[in-house]
Amino acid sequence: MDAFIEHKRAIDALLAELAQRSADHFHTDPTVINWTDVAGLARLREALQDARDSSP
């Protein structure tokens, strides 16, 4: 049970950090977004969807 709680806390911290980065446009100036920025977010979205789909 302790390991489960530890992993849950780590996941919560990662999600909070992602939410904070998202609020800051992932440290990207929204007025100068380029295709590299778009591709990076697409990869992140795919990774998050994979994580969601593989979660219990």
In this predicted model, what pLDDT tens digit does every residue of 3-51 receive, in sequence order? 999 999 999 999 999 999 999 999 999 899 999 999 999 999 999 999 9
- The domain of 50 spans 2-54
Start-to-end C-alpha separation, the chain: 16
Q: Which residues contact 9 (CB under 8 A, 6 or more apart)?
A: none
The DSSP symbol for 24 reads: T
| Helix then strand then coil, % of the chain, to nearest 5 | 85, 0, 15
Whether this prediction's pTM lies above 0.85 is answered by no
Domain count, the chain: 1
